[in-house]
Amino acid sequence: MKTILFDLDGTLIDHFTTIHRCVVFAQQQLGLPESDYETVRITVGGSVPVTLGKLLGEAYVERALPLFQNHFEEIMFEDVISLPGSTWILEALKARGYKLGVFTNKNGNQSRTILEHLNQAQYFDEIVGTGDTAYRKPEPEFTAHMLNLFNSSANETILIGDSPFDYAAAEAGNLKCYLVTTGSHSEAELAESTQAAGIYADFYELGAALFDLTHETAQL
């Protein structure tokens, strides 16, 4: 193994509060019923248009998308946090010489800006999201693009994520996929909907199992 690809939302960062606020803002502007936080949390995945389509209805996506995106640009730093163990594992893996990448359906420019804000961008060789290519996870072309970018074969690469979308993206490129339950899916849900090589509670558990890392003195 030489390359490790990470999903972003629900894997490295918790941005659900911000996403919920932006969904509600769009709903308010359009005079639609407001979704509660938990409904938004379990719906997020695929892309913003996909999420909005599920929450507001496809007929409203075209009008809701700019409302969501403009509000997101205004508040994207207010409620974002790095998830427990994410900085710890990135630092450890980078020190071991692995090539690290972010592979996300979040807007690429926003992803890079957010990771800079959280001081995590420094660990990554590439940060790729929507808008950087014509593709989205789990389209196989997107996975192939990441492998080409890293000059890495499928058997040299793993993907770490938190959702069936991540598993499908890995499967599209014949990558091994490992999942954490820090996003919107429980262990039982992930076990039922994927054939991931491993499912872990968080990065501390994953780091110990896959890389023999210990975290007695780790910082979040």
Q: Which fold has domain 16-75?
A: DNA polymerase; domain 1 (1.10.150)
Q: How confident is the model at residue 217 (pLDDT cuts 50, 70, 90)?
A: very low
Q: Over 50: is that where the pLDDT of 15 sits?
A: yes
Please give the share of the chain, as a percent, with pLDDT higher than 90: 93
* Whether residue 218 has pLDDT greater than 60: no
Please provide the DSSP assignment of 27-60 as one string. Answer: HHHHTPPPPPHHHHHHH--S-HHHHHHHHH-GGG
As a whole number, mean pLDDT of residues 165-187 equals: 96
- Give the domain ranges of the chain: 3-14+81-211, 16-75
The CATH superfamily holding the domain 3-14+81-211 is: HAD superfamily/HAD-like (3.40.50.1000)
pLDDT tens, position by position, 48-67? 999 999 999 999 999 999 99
Please answer whether residues 17 and 170 qualify as being in contact, where contact means their C-beta atoms are separated by less than 8 angstroms.
no
Percent of the chain residues past pLDDT 70, beyond the cut = 98
Q: Which two tokens stand for residue 66?
A: 């700019």
What is 70-135 written as a DSSP string?
Answer: HHHHHHTTTS-EEPTTHHHHHHHHHHTT-EEEEEEEEEHHHHHHHHHHTT-GGG-SEEEEETSSS-
Q: What pLDDT score was predicted for residue 176?
A: 98
Mean pLDDT of 163-187: 96
pLDDT digits (tens, 9 = 90+) for 83-142: 999 999 999 999 999 999 999 999 999 999 999 999 999 999 999 999 999 999 999 999
Instruction: Check: CB of residue 196 under 8 Å from CB of residue 190.
Output: yes
Contacts of 58 (CB under 8 A, 6+ apart): none
